[in-house]
Structure 1
Amino acid sequence: MMITITLEFNHGFQWFEKNGIYVKGYVFDENNNLYQNGQLTDYFLGCENEQDFKRKLEHANGIFCVIIKRDDKAFIGVDRTRTFPIFYTEKENDFYISDNTYFFKNKLHLKQIDRLSQEEFLLTGYVTGENTLLKNVYQLQAGQYATAGKGLNKDYYFTYAARNAVNKTYDTLEKELLHAFEDVFGRLITSVDNRTIVIPLSGGYDSRLIAVMLKKLGYENVICFTYGRYDSFEVEISTKVAEKLGYKHINVEYHDNLFDGFVDDERYIRYSKFGANHTSVFLLQDYFAVKYIYDKELIPKDSVIVPGHTVFISGAHIPAGLKKKRMKSRIINEIMRRHYSLKKIIDAEKFRVKISQQLGEGFSYSCFENWVLKERAAKFIVNADRTYEIFGYEHRIPLWDNALIEFFKYLDIKYKLNKKFYNNVLEKTIFSRYGVDFGEKNKGNELIQRIKMFIKPYVPKYIFDKYKTKKDINCFYPVSKRLLDSMTNPDGIDIWNDNSVVAYWYVESLQ
């Protein structure tokens, strides 16, 4: 078997190769030693078999991907959040690996669209499992590795599904979490090597935690930015937080004229391919703010952008009805209701079967979380960091550090529901010391959201549109309108569902 490796994306993070080891990203080992850039190849030296490779992946703490080529075999691995996607295919007894699905499409002529994957993509905004929109082109999943040689062997070195929970007092858990935060942000500071940290500061707690911890640890080379309409609550809260902490704050005001001509812009077209990669919708929420900051040279070119991607691990997504008892059908129902929702679903059973095959073993709520991590968190939330990379910026996701993942993985459900423990520690122990303990903007509880979805079909369109316009603080409507206006067949697409609009636009672009 001939193995061909084609790596093309060097946006933000560069690929490095030495002795047949291809790497991107950075890693802290179990002794807290940092390996980044070309040094990252040294971390994987000595991996000559699957067991050695798996052991290295299990102890790697950071964002990375790795390919090791050894004669007629190869080892491939991605981090626990699939930060840098890797794709592969077999053709005529040869094995091909790339970070760019357009390589398979244009060079190997694998152009056929997988219709089930396309339907799923339009429902969720991403293709679940190992599939992509291209038939016979596959992806490694979060926490997964593969060995190619005499056949293909895939396995997970990490799963978020837990079969037990820690039995500790609240005070003990709080001390452990505070200690973990110190370690996590210490590693963040070490990894950026005195460069400017740029925080997309929202009105929520996650990005605020990053800002406060950097202040606590004495890191002053920080710039915050916020975007949205002039009357956005995000702008109001984030400005107040930045002022309290003494950090420079950039406000990028979103208005209709900011989006003129973007659909035909060369950078946007490149970003749409890079960000989607036949797998996920590319996100536009941050795109225009980062473009504005880049074009105006408001931050150093070697800045590191650090978003607050962690609402997942804090427990915010866990349905109240999922407890420890194994309830497979209930898990599937919740996944379908929450994540297969960008359009009306026609044949739900085929997706129920697919989800059933993807669930791990463990508590019901933990299996639900594991699915969300591998699918929505990895392919939607973390994939949003392509926005920063296309402008040449590195990024970090400290709230996905292994220490926090392991802590929250085994945290009891009573502390996870509604982010009770997470929010309480942040408010009373961390934020209060810096005068930023004002509440997170109430996004409404689950019951209210269900009532809204139920009455939506009965509300006159002009009333619904007026309500949505008032709530459209990030100007999704003018962006979606420009995308729909550029399409040949926009009929029936909900202009207020921005992710659905992007999904349909991208699928049409593949025709």
Structure 2
Amino acid sequence: MAAPPGRADNVRVSGTDSTGAGSTAPEILLASPGWASQGGTHLWRPLRGQGPIPSDLPATAPASRAGQWTLIERDGEDLRLTTDRPRSHHLLFTRLDGRWIVSDDPRFLHERLPAGTWHRDRGAAEAFLHLGFTPGTSTLISGVHATPAASTTLLRADGAWKSRTWEEYRFAPSPISDGEEYAEAFTGAMDAAVSRLLDAVGERQLVVPLSGGLDSRLLAAWLTRLGAGRIATFTYGKADARETAISRQVAGALGLPWFSVGLDPAEIAGAWAGRDGARFRASTWGATSLPHPQDWYALERMRREGLVDGDAVFLPGHTIVGNMHDESLLSASPTRARVLSVIASHHAILQGRPRVHRRLEELRAAVLGAARELGVGAELAPRDAQRLIEWFNLRERQAKYINNSMKGYEAFGYDWALPMLDRELWDVWLRGSEGLTATRQWYAGFTTRVYAEATGRETALFAPAPARLPALPKRAILAGLRATRGDRALSRYRSVRTMLDHPMAFEAFSEPIPRLEQVSRMVLGASTLGLWTRLFLDGRWGPGLVPAD
């Protein structure tokens, strides 16, 4: 794998506001090639060739800024760090010798901080083990903080700092409840966001990771609808993966070029343990998030074999839709305490410990912080419960695990964009009624209709194939079902089989853990991601990035 832009061994440092020894001016160390700088202002965008910083940017409210961006501004002797809604490119900050150090790469901070000061944050690490990310502004490094989603963080010259959200995440007081009217509004939002993207990328190749689900299908259909010129679609997986077949069908129906990257678990495991895997992990964890290995080997093959253009723009279907869970809460007026407990327990699941959320102080503080940001009271109306659940999901898991996966494209030198998380889609989502947005039912119908209009036909959605049980284990399990609550055991059995032999070969990244130990942990409730968080924290994925306790 070629050293990508922004790596420590091919470094680009811009915007260093240091004025020499003894200075208290902030030191800004930026690695990504996406930065543009002008005076004391630094603007990051994921698409190359977008020109200098717009002259009217300081006067533009964050909520009205389109696309993905991160902004650093001098405010007298203070420093203001503003992130977009998806937290596209978070910043790290710490205090050293009376001044602030800000960077977009933890390797810079590690090099800059004195020996003996790079310590693990134990509370954040415990939360990370169960979540896959560090909640709030915490990181895995003690004394180092991270900018959150849709927020402005003010670093004062005297050492004080505060972070406040600029996004209210508030549903419209008179929401749209008619499905056809909402479809018209959603269509307008998609047209605006995707058209602006097409204007920005020009003739560059657009690459859509095409799964068998709704989101990438809708985005691919919309690109076709608007006449995008150069589109490639792909999927990856084992030779017999059902998702691969559905992805091929979708691309064929839309008349789009498609290719598949076959995955062999043994090859992946060997590569992941080598130098390329270590480089990828170092450039994508950001001190807050589990590296996202799911796409890594496919991207490595694409780059090595020239399967896409060197300046291609990747367009994953990450979306504002579908961040609600526990919809049954909306049938009553739950207390705030009940909703907060449901949120915490929903996210702290990776190790299969149902009550562990009660002792994760970092998670508790982040959930309470989200409630304060939205100003919800002790008794919640159904829409307030929906707001709180979706907002926490968006600002935490979506931002720090799903959206942070964009660093994988950057690690290989590719650009990317998230049109289905852009301003217009965010705004139209908040205009929909509870009946249209609390589940994915309306969205599924909308996507099916758009796809059918674009292709003249429908095709199946991807769903994991049911596991076929060998005869003897099947008889034993069925016998247990008669005497116990065996439905859960059967479900767990199927889940463990899938995790141990995943269509996307995810088991390759769990290989440092012996197979029998994997099985025992999974039977007790751990997920694949739970195995990965433990491996990452223990340094068993390679040279440790997180300091030892």
Whether TM exceeds 0.5 here: the answer is yes
Alignment of 1:141-180 (within 5 A): 141-150=148-157, 151-162=160-171, 164=173, 166-180=175-189
- Cα 1:466–1:126 change in 2 (3 A) is closer
Of 333, 349, 368, which residue of structure 2 is paired with 1:356?
368
1:236 CA drift (Å): 0.8
1:43 CA drift (Å): 4.5
Aligned to 2:28: 6
Of 492, 513, 523, which residue of structure 2 is paired with 1:484?
513
Note if 1:298 corresponds to 2:307. yes
AA aligned to 1:382 is N
Note if 1:498 corresponds to 2:528. yes
Q: Secondary structure, in 3 states, of the residue corresponding to 2:438?
A: helix
RCO comparison, higher one (Cα < 8 Å, 6+):
2
Would you say how many aligned residue pairs link Structure 1 and Structure 2?
480
Alignment of 1:104-123 (within 5 A): 104-109=109-114, 110-123=117-130
Aligned to 1:411: 432
Is contact 2:302–2:308 with CA below 8 Å preserved after alignment? yes
Is contact 1:26–1:62 with CA below 8 Å preserved after alignment? no
Is contact 1:162–1:361 with CA below 8 Å preserved after alignment? no
- Cα 1:463–1:301 change in 2 (3 A) is closer
Taking only the aligned residue pairs, the percentage that are identical comes to: 21
Tell me how far apart the structure 1 counterparts of residues 251 and 152 of structure 2 sit (CA, whole Å).
41
AA aligned to 1:361 is G
Is contact 1:130–1:140 with CA below 8 Å preserved after alignment? yes
* 1:349-375 superposed Cα distances (whole Å, 9 cap, x missing partner): 434454223322351111110000000
Note if 1:275 corresponds to 2:289. no
Alignment of 1:211-250 (within 5 A): 211-250=220-259
Tell me how far apart the structure 2 counterparts of residues 463 and 249 of structure 1 sit (CA, whole Å).
31
Tell me how far apart the structure 2 counterparts of residues 190 and 467 of structure 1 sit (CA, whole Å).
42
- Cα 1:466–1:500 change in 2 (3 A) is closer
Is contact 2:233–2:258 with CA below 8 Å preserved after alignment? yes
Tell me how far apart the structure 2 counterparts of residues 6 and 333 of structure 1 sit (CA, whole Å).
39
AA aligned to 2:44 is K
Tell me how far apart the structure 2 counterparts of residues 455 and 78 of structure 1 sit (CA, whole Å).
47
Answer with 490-499 or 167-176: which moved more. Answer: 490-499
Note if 1:40 corresponds to 2:53. yes
Q: TM-score, structure 1 length as denominator?
A: 0.86
Q: Secondary structure, in 3 states, of the residue corresponding to 1:224?
A: strand
AA aligned to 2:375 is E
Of 322, 329, 336, which residue of structure 1 is paired with 2:344?
336
1:130 CA drift (Å): 0.8
Show structure 2 runs of 5+ residues with no match: 1-22, 377-383, 466-480, 539-543
Q: Secondary structure, in 3 states, of the residue corresponding to 1:418?
A: coil
Q: Secondary structure, in 3 states, of the residue corresponding to 2:533?
A: helix
Tell me how far apart the structure 2 counterparts of residues 85 and 457 of structure 1 sit (CA, whole Å).
39
Aligned to 1:395: 416
Aligned to 1:25: 45
AA aligned to 1:147 is L
Is contact 2:208–2:232 with CA below 8 Å preserved after alignment? yes
Alignment of 1:99-138 (within 5 A): 99-109=104-114, 110-138=117-145
Note if 1:191 corresponds to 2:205. no
Of 271, 278, 287, which residue of structure 1 is paired with 2:296?
287
1:103 CA drift (Å): 2.7
- Cα 1:186–1:122 change in 2 (3 A) is same
Is contact 1:2–1:72 with CA below 8 Å preserved after alignment? no
1:422 CA drift (Å): 1.2
* 1:106-133 superposed Cα distances (whole Å, 9 cap, x missing partner): 3224412111100000000000101111
Of 38, 60, 68, which residue of structure 1 is paired with 2:73?
68
Of 309, 319, 333, which residue of structure 1 is paired with 2:318?
309
- Cα 1:429–1:298 change in 2 (3 A) is closer
1:460 CA drift (Å): 12
Of 68, 82, 98, which residue of structure 2 is paired with 1:77?
82
Tell me how far apart the structure 2 counterparts of residues 456 and 372 of structure 1 sit (CA, whole Å).
29
AA aligned to 2:187 is L
Aligned to 2:35: 15
Show structure 1 runs of 5+ residues with no match: 28-34, 445-451
Tell me how far apart the structure 2 counterparts of residues 39 and 8 of structure 1 sit (CA, whole Å).
17
Aligned to 1:321: 328
Tell me how far apart the structure 2 counterparts of residues 163 and 171 of structure 1 sit (CA, whole Å).
17
- Cα 1:254–1:165 change in 2 (3 A) is farther
Answer with 87-96 or 195-204: which moved more. Answer: 87-96
1:493 CA drift (Å): 5.3
* 1:240-282 superposed Cα distances (whole Å, 9 cap, x missing partner): 1111112111101112243142234323212212211220001
Is contact 1:161–1:370 with CA below 8 Å preserved after alignment? no
Aligned to 1:447: none
Q: TM-score, structure 2 length as denominator?
A: 0.80
- Cα 1:205–1:75 change in 2 (3 A) is same
Tell me how far apart the structure 2 counterparts of residues 92 and 101 of structure 1 sit (CA, whole Å).
18
* 1:144-190 superposed Cα distances (whole Å, 9 cap, x missing partner): 01222343243211132447451453222111111211112101211
Answer with 402-411 or 92-101: which moved more. Answer: 92-101
Note if 1:88 corresponds to 2:87. no
1:338 CA drift (Å): 2.0
- Cα 1:228–1:413 change in 2 (3 A) is same
AA aligned to 2:144 is V
Tell me how far apart the structure 2 counterparts of residues 154 and 365 of structure 1 sit (CA, whole Å).
24
- Cα 1:493–1:112 change in 2 (3 A) is farther
Is contact 1:282–1:502 with CA below 8 Å preserved after alignment? no
Is contact 2:169–2:387 with CA below 8 Å preserved after alignment? yes
Tell me how far apart the structure 1 counterparts of residues 177 and 437 of structure 2 sit (CA, whole Å).
14
Aligned to 2:17: none
Q: Secondary structure, in 3 states, of the residue corresponding to 1:69?
A: strand
AA aligned to 2:204 is R
